[in-house]
Structure 1
Amino acid sequence: MVRFFALMIFAAFFWACSESHPDSAGATSETTNGIAITVVDADRMPVPRARVTLYAKGTLAVLGSAEADTAGIAQFELHADTLANDAFVEAIAGEDSSLMAWTSFDTAQSEIPLYASASLTVRTGAAEADYAALFDSLALDSTPYTASRSGGEYTFAHVPAGMFNIVAGDSLFATVTLNTGATADTLIHIPDVTREFVFEDFNDGDSLNNLAKIYPNSGWNYTPVGNAKFIVPDSTTGFTGALEKDNRFGGKFLSLKFDISDTGFVMISTHLGLDTGYYDMSRLTAIRMKVRSDCNFYVTLEHYKEVENNVHSRALWKGFADENWHEIVFRPGEETLRDDSYQVHFSDIATEIGIFSLYIKSGTFLQIDDIVFEGVDKIQ
C-alpha cells in the first residue's frame, strides 16, 4: 500500500506537569538475582500487584513478565547488560488498566511511574459501502497495542500516555499525542475512502452555509427566545457582524455573545436548502466542529416538516465546551432522546433532514469554526 502521512495533534488536551510526563519514566536496578523494577504512582507511592512486562524492540517478543510485590517491586531473572537499550518496559495496574506506563528500558532510573491511561478513537469518515476497503485493525507503532475495526472506527480503550504513530501494515496514517487520562478522538484520511463535507467554515464572510453553493438556501438565522437576547450579532451588523478574523490559522470564525437572563435561550439555525427542501444524510457518521465557550450547548439535525408551529422532530446532541478551543465530535447513535421535546433517533429522520441548529441555554459566549459532516462528501 502506498505510504502516506498525516499529522494529527490533539489541541483539546494539555500535558500534565513535568514530573508527570511519561518520558520521565525510569526503569530498573540490577540485583544479584537479575533485574528489579520498582513501580510507583504519580505520588511515588508503591503500586502492589502491578503487571510488568519487558518487550524486545523490533520484534516486540516478550522477554519476561512479573507481578510487583507489596513494595511495588517486580523482579526478573535477566541482567540489564544483556538488554542494553533493546527493550521496552510496560507496567499496568488495575483490572481495567486504569494506570499504565510504556517506555524504553533504562538502567539509569530506579523507578517506573504509572499515570492514568488514555483512550483513543480513530475515525475514518468511511461510508458503510466502503467498510470493506478498510484495514481490519490499526496499531500504535512499536507497541503491542492494537484496535479492531467496528464499523468505520477503531478504539484503543486503554493505552499509556505518550506520542505514537498510528499504522496498519506498512502505512503510517497519523502521529498522535495522548496526554495523561485523555479521551482522544481523531479522523484519519484514507484516499478514496474518507468522505467529509465542510458544511461551514465561515471563511467566505457571508451569512450562507457552504451548501448554498450547491443548493440555494436562505443562510443562517439567529433567534432569541424568552427574555434572552443576542449582544453579537445585533440588528445593526446582522449575522456577518459576528464573524471574527482567525489569527490561529487565517480565515474567520463565528463569535456569538448573548445574555440568557433568567429564562429563555438563544439559537442559530440554517436550512440545508429551501424551506421545504430535505436531504438524505443517512450516510452521516459524525458531525465535528471546533468550539470555544463558557457554556454547554445543543446541536440538532431536524426533519424538514413541522410537527407544531416552528417545531420539528430532531436528533439532538449535547456539547460540552470550555474557554480553550476544542474539536468536538457528535455521532449518530449517541443523541439524547425525549419524546416530549420531539427528540428522536437520527436514523428515524436521516433521509429527510432539512435544518441544522444550535441551542444555547447558559453562559455568555460561543465561538464556532469548521463544522464538518463526516461520512458524506455530498448531500443528496
Structure 2
Amino acid sequence: MKRAVECLILGVALLAGCSDSGSDTAGATSETTNGIAVAVYDVNRDPIPQARVTLYSKADFAVVNSAVANDSGLAHFDSLAEECSSGNCFVEGIAGADSALMNWSEFKPTISETEIATQIELAPSASLTLRTGATTDEEVFEFLRLKSTPYMASRSGSDYVFAHVPAGMFTVVAGDSAVATFSLEAGAEADTLVNVPGKTLEYVFEDFDDGDSLNNLAKNYRNYGWYYIASGTAIWIKPDSVGGFGGAIVDGVRGKHLSLQFDLGDSGYVLLGTHLGLDTGYYDLGALTAIRMKVRGDCDFSFALEHYKDLGDNNFQKSLWHATADTTWKEFVFRPGKEKLNASVYQVEWKNIAHEIGFVSIFVSSGSFLEIDEIVFEGIDSVEAPAP
C-alpha cells in the first residue's frame, strides 16, 4: 500500500490544428470545426480508444458534456459551452473496467483557427480508504468527498471508501470542513486512520517503548509477556539465550522497537507470541475494527489472534492475516472479516472467536529478519478484565 507519494502532474498541451495538406500530426483532425477535440493517451503516449471524456462545471460539478474517444483516441464535441471555453470546467477521462484508468484535471482548452483542442493522460486509478476507528455501527460523517471533484465516499461500517479515484493531490472534506489531505500515486491503495476527536477509539497493545517483555495490557492485568519459539530446522539469532527478549528491543530513529533475527534452515519457522491473560483467561475483542502495525523485514509473516481454548496438542482456533514485509518501514492494516481461512490448520472466521481471544501470535516462514513497532487495536480504547 503506497501512501504519501508525488502528485501526478497532468500535462495540458495544444494539439496541432488541421491543415490543407491533411497532416496526421497527433491531435489534428478534419472532423471537427469550431468544436472540441480531446485526445486521450496512456502513460506510454498510446491513444486510448473508447475512453469516456466528461466536462464538469466548476460551479456545481454538473455534467456539461460528454463523449467517447474514437479508435484514434479522440473524443469529439460539436460545441463548447461558454463556461468551459472560459476555463470554468474540469475534464475527466475514464477507461477500462472498474475505471482502471482515470484523469481529473482543469480543462484548459487551447483555441486554434479551426478548433479547440487539448489532451489528457490517463493513469491507473487509485483507491482511498479512511478508517475512523469508531464503533462499526456509528456514522461518523454524513458524507465525504474529494474537494473540487464529484467523487464521494461510500460507507463500510466505520470506514469511508473511495474505490476508484484519479491519482493526484486531494483534500477530503465533510461539508465545508477539511478532514485530511492525501497525495495518491497512480495505482495506489491507500488505507489510513483519520483521528476524529470523540469518535476514534484505539488501544496501543505494544510499542516496546518500556523495553521489557510484557505487552502493554500487563500494566493493568497480569500476563506472561512475550515468548519466542523455533520449530523444525529454525533457530533464533536474536533474541538469544543470553540477552533474552529484552536483548531484541533496540533503539533507532523511531525510538525503541523489536528487532528479530533468525535462521529458518531448510524447513523451519519461528513464532513470536504473547498471552493476553493468564492461562485460560480471555478477552472480548468483538468491537475491533482493524489491527495496524509497523513492520520492516525481508520475510513473509502472519499475524494471528487466537482463541483461548486448547483443542489438543497445543492447537488453537485462530483468525490469521498474511503479509510480506519490506526492507523499508511500512504500516500494515489487518481487518476483521478479511482473514485467511483454512480449517485444516484451525484458521477460522473472526466472528467465531472474536469474543474469546487468548493470544497474539506472529508466524514467520521465510527470510532472516523482522522488525516490529506499534501494534495498535482500532475500534477499542481499553480492554476489560479477562474472564477467568
TM-score by length of structure 1 reads 0.89
Q: Distance in 2 between matches of 1:334 and 1:81?
A: 47
Cα 1:337–1:136, aligned 2, differ >3 Å: closer, same or farther?
Answer: same
Residue 182 of structure 2 is aligned to residue 176 of structure 1: yes
CA contact (8 A) 1:12 1:325 kept: no
Alignment of 1:195-344 (within 5 A): 195-247=201-253, 250-344=254-348
CA contact (8 A) 2:84 2:107 kept: no
Alpha-carbon displacement from aligned partner over 1:149-174 (angstroms, at most 9, x marks no partner): 12111221111111111112122211
CA contact (8 A) 2:4 2:183 kept: no
Percent identity between the two aligned chains? 53
1:59 matched to which residue of 2?
Answer: 60
Alpha-carbon displacement from aligned partner over 1:16-63 (angstroms, at most 9, x marks no partner): xxxxx6313326658742222111011101111111111222421222
Alignment of 1:131-170 (within 5 A): 131=138, 133-170=139-176
- Paired amino acid for 1:341: V
Shift of 1:106: 2.6
CA contact (8 A) 1:25 1:103 kept: no
1:370 matched to which residue of 2?
Answer: 374
1:111 matched to which residue of 2?
Answer: 119
When structure 1 is superposed on structure 2, of 316-325 and 226-235 the one drifting more is 316-325
Cα 1:36–1:278, aligned 2, differ >3 Å: closer, same or farther?
Answer: same
- Paired amino acid for 1:364: S
Q: Distance in 1 between matches of 2:81 and 2:356?
A: 67
Q: Distance in 2 between matches of 1:118 and 1:82?
A: 27
1:3 matched to which residue of 2?
Answer: none
1:25 matched to which residue of 2?
Answer: 11
Q: List 4+ stretches of structure 1 deviating above 3 A.
A: 10-15, 27-32, 79-85, 107-110
Q: Distance in 1 between matches of 2:352 and 2:147?
A: 40
Of residues 122, 125, 128 in structure 1, which corresponds to 2:133?
A: 125
- Paired amino acid for 1:112: I
Q: 3-state DSSP class of the match of 2:195?
A: coil
CA contact (8 A) 2:57 2:84 kept: no
Q: Distance in 2 between matches of 1:352 and 1:83?
A: 63
Q: Distance in 2 between matches of 1:360 and 1:134?
A: 37
CA contact (8 A) 2:64 2:81 kept: no
CA contact (8 A) 1:27 1:37 kept: no
CA contact (8 A) 1:280 1:350 kept: yes
CA contact (8 A) 1:229 1:258 kept: yes
Contiguous gaps of at least 5 residues in structure 1: 1-9, 16-20
Q: Distance in 2 between matches of 1:168 and 1:23?
A: 25
Q: Distance in 1 between matches of 2:161 and 2:41?
A: 27
Q: Distance in 2 between matches of 1:304 and 1:81?
A: 65
Alpha-carbon displacement from aligned partner over 1:331-379 (angstroms, at most 9, x marks no partner): 1111112222111111111111111010001111111111110111111
Alignment of 1:41-120 (within 5 A): 41-76=42-77, 77-78=79-80, 83-107=85-109, 110-120=118-128
Alpha-carbon displacement from aligned partner over 1:290-326 (angstroms, at most 9, x marks no partner): 1112111111111112112322111111112222221
Contiguous gaps of at least 5 residues in structure 2: 18-31, 111-116
- Paired amino acid for 1:232: K
1:7 matched to which residue of 2?
Answer: none
Question: Which one has the largest radius of gyration?
Answer: 2
Alpha-carbon displacement from aligned partner over 1:204-243 (angstroms, at most 9, x marks no partner): 2221111111212121111111110111111111112212
Q: Distance in 2 between matches of 1:81 and 1:343?
A: 58
Q: 3-state DSSP class of the match of 2:98?
A: coil
Q: 3-state DSSP class of the match of 1:379?
A: coil
Q: Distance in 2 between matches of 1:269 and 1:137?
A: 40
Q: 3-state DSSP class of the match of 1:348?
A: helix
2:28 matched to which residue of 1?
Answer: none
Shift of 1:100: 0.5
Q: Distance in 2 between matches of 1:192 and 1:26?
A: 44
- Paired amino acid for 1:90: E
Q: Distance in 1 between matches of 2:330 and 2:82?
A: 44
CA contact (8 A) 1:277 1:304 kept: yes
Q: Distance in 1 between matches of 2:155 and 2:13?
A: 34
Shift of 1:200: 0.9
Residue 369 of structure 2 is aligned to residue 361 of structure 1: no
Q: 3-state DSSP class of the match of 2:223?
A: coil
CA contact (8 A) 2:304 2:321 kept: yes
Q: 3-state DSSP class of the match of 1:144?
A: coil
Q: 3-state DSSP class of the match of 2:316?
A: strand
Paired residues in the alignment total: 362
Q: 3-state DSSP class of the match of 2:247?
A: helix
CA contact (8 A) 1:80 1:107 kept: no
Q: Distance in 1 between matches of 2:263 and 2:142?
A: 49
TM-score by length of structure 2 reads 0.88
When structure 1 is superposed on structure 2, of 64-73 and 74-83 the one drifting more is 74-83
- Paired amino acid for 2:58: K
